[in-house]
Structure 1
Amino acid sequence: MRRVAVVGGGITGLAASLRLLASGEEVNISLYEASDRLGGRVQTLRIPELGVTVEAGPDSMLARKPAALRLIEELGMGDEVVSTRPEATKTYIVRGSELCPLPKGYLGIPHDPSCVHPPLLSEVGLRRALEEERLPFDVPEGDMALGAFLRARLGEEWVRFIGEPLLAGIYAGDVERLSLYATWPSLVDLARQHGSLVAASRALARSTRQAPQASGRSAFVTVQGGLASLTDRMEARIRESGRAEIHTRSRVTALTRRGHTYEVHVETDAGERFEERVDGVILAVPPHVARDALRSLVAMPAVDTFYQSTATVVMVYPRDAFGAELEEASGFLVPRPEGLTITATTWMSSKWPHVAPDSLAVIRAYVGRRGQDDALLLPDDVIAARAADEVGRLTGARGKPLWVRVTRFSEAMPNYGVGHLARVDEAEAALRTACPAVAVAGAGWLGVGLPDCVEQGERAAMRVLAALHA
């Protein structure tokens, strides 16, 4: 019976473990997680006295990426899939303390003057963005900063007040430091296909109007009991297999070679140290952690993924604290020049039907992004008070929240720098040559979304199994 160590108990490591167990191969698993729980950044807050179920971490999965939905079906949770409310389609951007609608079209890229409502862009800024359609398009020869690419195409004002909060917001990042090809390669593909980003935005807006979602499912989905119910089911399946040992509060400090096998060196929170002999290893951890663990086996090139700390603030209000427009809103984004504590909000009870009863409104605010995270040094109660004050001023909320919770995520959001994909390729090539039965996976490598992480974990499992056969 072969044994594989899986290092990291987030959704990537859980997906890798399940794929190993479902492979039909005779393999046992040792799953190591440094924290006291499995699931990683997936954290669901359940407030029984209010009837509220809301995410503190990721709140959904992109439906067009099949890995996560396939996993949900395999876990027998297909009938628990929840789509976003069809009426909650409006996203706003703060400009001058006003909530301005996000321009219709792809990623807020305007395709005619009526797309943009003042004061979001000045006349000069809007004219500059629309002029992009007349600019020649040359495919970038190599990777470049996302901000530099967008600025050259759509102008400084569009980048500062629309592009940066929207595109960099997913990574809590800085658009001037994010890789174009590792974060939004579709921008290049669309511009090449349509001749410009403005033309692409127009074409996509037209196709969306003419061809509504055939499946009846929204672009983003979650599960009824919250995403923690998904990771809980994954953990339960692993435990029920009878072929897995799960070690929490256990940090893998190094890997060493022992003939054709590996020794996993482990240190627990209690100070215990031990080694386990295994045939293969999956490192579902950040690149710098994997590189440190492998230092005695291979000189892996540094991937240098930057990790940004963030916090979420969940606020529960009486529904009548807000006007009727709440029902059509999914949230708002805050550009850096606005200088607020919060960087964005999601109006969870408007977006998702399972979050709260009709008598309540649930809003989640985000705090912290690269280069603008001083607020994270403040105590939780101060962060919560600032978030509630800013949400109140921007939305006209009547009264204060009934319930507030701040959840911190230390160094949680990977930011892919320019040249990231090439560095990942170099690191994986070095690893395959030196340690073919060791694989890496996770958000810090190739994709931050939950479906990306699931797919990477499953792919890593199959890579290790193939190496063991060889």
Structure 2
Amino acid sequence: MNSPRIAILGGGITGLSAAYYLLREAREQGFTPQLTLLEADRRLGGKIDTERTDGFVMEKGPDSFLERKPSAKQLVVDLGLEKELVRNQTGQAYILHRGRLTPIPEGAVMGIPTRLSPFVTTRLFSPAAKLRAAADLILPRGNYDDDVSVGHFFRRRLGDEVVDHLIEPLLSGIYAGNIDHLSLQATFPQFAAIEEKYRSLILGMKRTRSPQANGGKPQGAFLTLKNGLQSLVDALDNALPPGSMRTGIRVKEVKKEANGYHLLTDYSETIAADIVIVTLPQPEVDLLFPRYDFLKAHHSSPATSVANVILAYNAEDARLEMDGTGFVVPRREPTTITACTWTHQKWPHTTPAGKALIRCYVGRSGDEAIVDESDETIVGTVRQDINQIMGITDKPLFTRVTRWKKAMPQYTPGHAEWVAQVRAGSREHLPGIFWAGASYSGVGIPDCIDQGKHAAHDALAFLQR
């Protein structure tokens, strides 16, 4: 086989994973392609960005990944970093309810009750709401001819109050979205499958819980690396051929040619490729491929902007009255922050002795204006919220504000059908173009790694054909 020219657009975790697994699989097949990865930013890693200062390990983007989705842990193992893995500490998680931190009921799985006593005794819901949620035990299966929203699904099964007070803040935070506008099939299809199999969501979740969850010692569900997730990016960079990763180069357009594709860059350079793996956000795709209507998003909901706010303290200045790992905030609460992690308790390795590290989040679908404010305004607003909620009044040692503009794609109903349309249209009109990344089939680190790995495999299969 001649050495094919393969371009990967985007140097986030999706593009880096695609490059790593493409080269590995190609070498197993006996050839080495000419690989070029192009990243517009000056750094690799996308939303993964770790700062290490004075013994603090601070994540400006995601801080961990789910172990039950195996691709991220497998990549860590493949890169020889398994000794660096750290599991989160478990502890009580809270919901902000009427201005006070209220424990999430024991046995609630993603907000779905699986134990009777904690649900009956919690202050989160009125007696009428508890009775309404119990109706799930007798309600028939839903009949959904079309994709529905996450909110529609859960409101039908458990009622509005349980959704608004518990399920919404737990689920919407993953996408910084509004669950009444998020596609069930594209975000949480497992719940539809449980309803289909067991009819009752409560009974189904109870039967599918792990033995550990039903009484064993709790174990953290998340993993990270001792020196931060940036270690994963650095290891991928080091594992790839020198010179194959090109940063600070933005592709302006991808043109289809008789013998492949031409990538036009903002430096008036043209890069030829036989295959292109695109891992960029969907709005950028519209600019790269302006002539292909099937690529355009099926909805008008723009990606959401969010900001991550880190506050470091001396431990005595940030004493918490409760033990735990943090809390989430329902939309109905009159605060700006949407969630808060007590990082020094959830990830003790990130914080030097005698210090405390708190991470707050602001911005969500329909409520993003704060993200455009100055650092001083954002920090001041966050400090006001944590003062009211946790009674922390002292000035932090230092703060960090990281904005992620239009970084959280919103999977509205019909999203899965749109992704299928993009892939089918590409096979017909853009053969050799492959799509992966948070705009398509999942926003978490494991989801993005999976997509990069699958795109690499599909690209090599295309070459073989």
Q: Give the TM-score band, short-chain normalised.
A: over 0.9
For 2:10, the aligned partner's letter is G
Matches within 5 A, 1:162-201: 162-201=166-205
Matched residue, 1:401: 396
**1:297 & 1:265 partners in 2: Cα distance?**
17
What is the aligned counterpart of 1:382 among 360, 365, 377? 377
Question: What is the aligned partner in structure 1 of residue 307 from structure 2?
Answer: 311
Measured against aligned partners, the alpha-carbon deviations of 1:381-429 in whole angstroms (never above 9, x if no partner) come to 1111111221122123352322211111111111101010001001101
Given the alignment of the two structures, is residue 433 of structure 1 paired with residue 428 of structure 2, yes or no? yes
- C-alpha change, 1:145 and 1:313, in structure 2 (3 Å) is same
Structure 1 counterpart of 2:231, from 229, 232, 252: 229
Q: Is the 8 A contact 1:256 1:297 kept in 2?
A: no
TM-superposition CA deviations, 1:128-159 (whole Å, max 9, x none)? 11222121123523210111111111111111
Deviations 1:304-351 (A, max 9, x none): 47310000110112223345655x412101111112110011111111
4+ runs deviating over 4 angstroms: 210-213, 296-299, 322-326
What residue in structure 1 maps to residue 4 of structure 2? 2
Given candidates 453, 461, 464, the residue that maps to 2:459 is 464
Q: Is there any run of 5+ residues in structure 2 with no aligned partner, and where?
A: none
**What corresponds to 1:248 in structure 2?**
247
Structure 1 residues 146 and 199: CA distance shift in structure 2, 3 A:
same
Q: Does structure 2 conserve the Cα–Cα contact (< 8 Å) formed by 1:65 and 1:451?
A: yes
User: Which amino acid is the alignment partner of residue 107 of structure 1?
Assistant: M
The alpha-carbon deviation at position 460 of structure 1 amounts to: 0.7
Given residue 194 of structure 2, which amino acid in structure 1 is its aligned partner? L
The corresponding residue for 1:341 is: 336
Deviates more, 1:141-150 or 1:129-138: 129-138
Which aligned pairs between 1:110-259 and structure 2 lie closer than 5 A?
110-111=113-114, 112-115=116-119, 118-204=122-208, 207-210=211-214, 212=216, 218-238=220-240, 241-242=241-242, 244-259=243-258
Given residue 30 of structure 1, which amino acid in structure 2 is its aligned partner?
T
2:88 is aligned with what amino acid?
T
Query: Counterpart in 2 of 1:107?
Result: 110
Residue identity over aligned pairs, in percent, reads 35
Q: Conserved in 1, the CA contact under 8 Å of 2:386 and 2:392?
A: yes
TM-score (normalizing by structure 1): 0.92
1:307/1:415 contact within 8 Å kept = yes
1:284-299 matched pairs, under 5 angstroms: 284-296=279-291, 299=294
**Residues of 1 paired with 2:346 and 2:318: CA distance?**
15
* 1:418 counterpart = 2:378: no
> Compared with structure 1, are the counterparts of its residues 258 and 389 closer, same or farther at alpha carbon in structure 2 (3 Å cutoff)?
same
In 2, the alpha carbon distance for the partners of 1:382 and 1:113 equals 43
Q: Give the Cα separation in 2 of the matches to 1:306 and 1:330.
A: 31
Q: Which runs of 5+ in 1 are unaligned?
A: none
| Greater mean alpha carbon deviation, residues 143-152 or residues 204-213 | 204-213
Moved more, 136-145 or 458-467: 136-145
Contact 2:105 2:122 in 1 (8 A): no
Match of 1:93 among 92, 95, 106: 95
**Corresponding residue for 1:22?**
24
Secondary structure in structure 2 of the residue aligned to 1:412: strand
RMSD: 2.0
Amino acid at match of 1:254: E
CA contact (8 A) 2:312 2:356 kept: yes
Letter in 2 for 1:404: T
Change (3 A) 1:299 1:193: closer
Q: Give CA-to-partner distance per residue, 1:184-203, whole Å, 9 cap, x none.
A: 11111222333212223433
Distance 1:290 1:53 in 2: 34
> When the two structures are superposed, what TM-score results if normalisation uses the length of structure 2?
0.93
C-alpha distance in 1 between matches for 2:313 and 2:124 = 28
Partners of 1:253 and 1:293 within 8 A in 2: yes
Q: CA deviation at 1:302?
A: 3.1
Question: Does the 8 Å contact 2:320/2:390 carry over to 1?
Answer: no
- Report which stretch shifted further, 304-313 or 364-373: 304-313
- What amino acid maps onto 1:309 in structure 2? S
